[in-house]
Structure 1
């Protein structure tokens, strides 16, 4: 395969034929380089990680599921180093191209997977999402992407960083392909019905950039037509930014524990952003996480009460447009902080969240999200198919 996008790990020629039959027969997929493929080292976006780990003995559960369903693995895709990133930069292997906005970053850490799908190199691709690593590149590259209910899809054979946040997700450029892959990974048919109310998160929209708000307004209005009841309400009882502050501390505490033994044993090379994140995490005391854990319990109760079993929360996937590729380090660091302001919600609570590629600003993709009740993954995907039908019949959320 000719990879003009820089989406695939350049030195890993990893092609595995599917079973030859099944619901995904004839399709191709890519796997983020956090998923084990038998006979290959899972590189995790860092050459020292690759150097200090042995080849996988078996396929990750998600990779095996797609192969068994007939799809062929086309290769491994670039990830931000050890999955710690949201813009898609990798100083060792490069930043994949965003095919929908070439002067902008693709989003991360599932950057290569989103780039490969958006550029038409594969039909679908596996990604991981702890703090927003499927939802962000899906929004930036104009794709369907799902962070599933926490624990819904097996992460066996997937390199994890923050166990109470880690999930396995996937990308597709069209809703039908997205649903076919979803049925395989979720192990259940995509069923309509049951989600009848939409709550527009007023405080989440309020912190978005004006360009994002303007692009999403018509899309949210059109989407509301699929529900019997629509209303605006704030998600947070107080400050919505409290959610990201607490989520960031919890996730940092977890990934620092995950990587500390390897860091101390191997003294690996890191980019400044990853090294800084790990250094800050090492300074966290357990006592500093007591308050964030209590906040998480409150957040779960708040969102659960708000949604019940029949409502979705509508919000921007990210509050900002994808940053330019040539932005300085300080600006990209600020962008990461902004992105987390909204991606933190599903991570804190374990709820499923789907990105819908419904809008643009000056040709740049802008993603609209729906967060559903726990276990409503199939129903969110069914809504995505309805949205696709709606957009085929009228122009929604475009320039």
Structure 2
């Protein structure tokens, strides 16, 4: 165990971590204790008690383990938090006005960040363990780790009113990863909240997903709806989704602190050109092999073709483009009830009421799935 009582060794280890983090492509590194913050645990418990986690059952199932790093690994004494800037070169809000194009969240335009970061974290952790003699464990998002509160405690930034981490140097565009270690390292000072009276992130949310500053109701969040939610998109949110087909960057992109990220730092992650402005018409043509091929190595692949096409059909319905009618008709016969139901809604938005009603009566009568029949029937009522 590395003890803070040996300041010389601790200082050398810290310098080593800083150098290795930069070499591995991280933009910032900071340290906090592994004890956890009781207030964070209380806020998480309230979040779950209110049902704001939606269908993300793994959050409710791991509340106890999320309370502190020691709950996950009792031997942990320090947490090394590392951050990587993924700020975009363009304004991700601009595409929202071009309804024939699909808006993909900035983080998903690259290779899956879990893979990018985890490999680099492991390299740093192995070198640190060899040098310090301490045990280490590496985590990137998939484990029950409260990464944003830990990053704030370590001083990498603060949790803004949109609940995401905000940095004075990188704005709202940071990937996070953590190394738990049995070494006792000198912690960094936490960062203060610099949101002030600004509420830009709250006001821009298309679905009013923030019940109050610093609170999120995931059930209303477009990122949750397009990625985590497995069923049909609730009707009340479909128009508000616009052309957002995977995630939502609105609350991140509008943050005033982003100007420092764009002016002072160059992102090390290059977005795929074909994911910056993909056409809705092209995406609707994807079958399962095509979907898997296009999104190989991408986090988008995790949600599967049917959920993805569901999202794209909502965007099609919001596009106002009659040129999409034919492909939506074909998708109304898709093997997936999830896709057929979304196609029904899209067609109700793209066709005139008379044409749609005639189609909907016939489709509703012969579809074997009650939820799909319900989509046709509800859309007929709305078109009347």
Q: Provide the TM-score with structure 1 as the length reference.
A: 0.27
If you compute each CA radius of gyration, which structure gives the higher value, 1 or 2?
2
Q: Greater share of helix residues, 1 or 2?
A: 2
Q: Provide the TM-score with structure 2 as the length reference.
A: 0.27
